[in-house]
Copies of this chain bind each other. A is one copy, B any other.
Amino acid sequence: METTIEAPTRDADRTRAAILHAAQQVFAAKGFAEAGVRDITARAGVNPSLVSRYFGGKLKLFEAALDAALNTRLMTDLPKEQFGKMIVVRFADEDDRVSPLPMMFSAASDREARAVAQRLLRDRVFQPLKNWFGGESADVKAARFMMVSLGFFAYRDQLPLAEFAGRVEPRLRQWLEREFQAIVDD
């Protein structure tokens, strides 16, 4: 048996939070298009219609979920001396699948969802990163960071090709560390 936390049977805030939490997981796992409103609400244990009532529709829910993920993941809070090592730890070791970057792929198929993801990633990841890098080629550095990061997640999550799919092969990890570190050092 499990200790059932006696939640209030009716609590709008809690229900809203439950939907948002489920949305983050399901969107990250199945992508925007394949994640159905019924999937999400079933996981949250509520009625599908509440997505429209509390968030104004699936797209707005996606935006809220992506926004929430972005609030819990800052890239610019790492020491520049160990940026490479620590960003790879964050990407590879922590369960970072409910993270802004993988979620971006989740939106790749839908035009509107892609626009939402683009705007959020630009304002909440790319720009802060650019300011944090500083210097005259800050935009190029930020672009390099996005390319390597997106490449990593695309390779790991979207098309696991090699034998070492899933875990990160040691030599690949070493390369990634150097790659990320080079961005801040250049």
Contact = CB atoms under 8 A, between A and B. Distances in A.
> From DSSP, what is the main secondary structure of chain A's interface residues?
helix
Interface string A55-82: 0000000000000000000000000000
Interface in A89-118: 104-106, 108-111, 114, 117-118
Contact of A155 (B105, B143, B159, B162): B143
Contact of A163 (B108, B139, B171): B139
Specify how many copies of this chain sit in the oligomer: 2
A25 interface: no
Interface of A: 30-34, 104-106, 108-111, 114, 117-118, 121-122, 126, 137, 139-140, 142-144, 146-152, 154-155, 158-164, 169, 171-172, 175
